[in-house]
Structure 1
Amino acid sequence: MGVAHFALGAALTTLVVAASRPETRYPRTIVAVGGGWAMVPDAYKVLPLPLPVAEEHLAAFHASPLADVFWLHRTLDRLDPTNSGRVAAALLACFVAATLLSEWRSGRSGLASGREATPVESD
């Protein structure tokens, strides 16, 4: 299930960004790219390929240990071969928890430093 791969990739990216570069610009964009990165090995399943040979090679890559470079893609496929909705929901919960931890750590919530959250002004 693509949702599980996206959620795992986004959660792990969130934790890496929060730990290494908490004040980085555009952290949400980086997290979205990290979630997409986790889905790269499945791209051959949804993109039209001109040659059947290409699909065979991409399927072989998908099953290889190199696919784990994409946020443990192959490992997740092996741990959850049926693409369970429960696993996807659990990984989405992990993503939400990682996001909350990241927001708390960066002080955006106003809770980390004990100060009040600054309201955003709108026009």
Structure 2
Amino acid sequence: MSNRLKPGINHIEFWVSDLRQSMNFYNSFLPLIGWKKISDVSFSTENMVIYFQEMKEIKKLRSLGVRHLCFQAVEKGQVEEVCSAMVAQQANIIRGPLLMPYSKEYYTLDFFDPDGQVIEVAHTPFANMG
């Protein structure tokens, strides 16, 4: 067994209606919070990979499952930078950036991606993670 493997999420696969549109959208903010584009269809940190697959024939349905995906901003200013990127993308912003009472200095921005997935970028310096 490898010593470098740790429990966690290995990867997330997004099915998207327009690969080019989604890659442009995610590339507009993921690098601002430390993610690197590693291929034409994927981004990575040292711990996780997100990749995208175009599925034009599938319609998005409202269903049970993941409500949103929250990306960690390591600096509060990154939330502001992402907000500026989302305004430039003309993204549908749900709320923020604003402080929320979930933990001290929890600063968040929530918005929809091009396919209607709820995305959050949050700076959570005092969140209890375990």
Q: Same fold (TM over 0.5)?
A: no
More helix by share: 1
Bigger radius of gyration? 1
Q: TM-score, normalised by structure 2?
A: 0.25
Q: TM-score, normalised by structure 1?
A: 0.26
Structure with the higher fraction of residues in strand conformation: 2
- Determine which structure has greater relative contact order: mean sequence separation of CA pairs < 8 Å that are 6+ residues apart, divided by chain length: 1
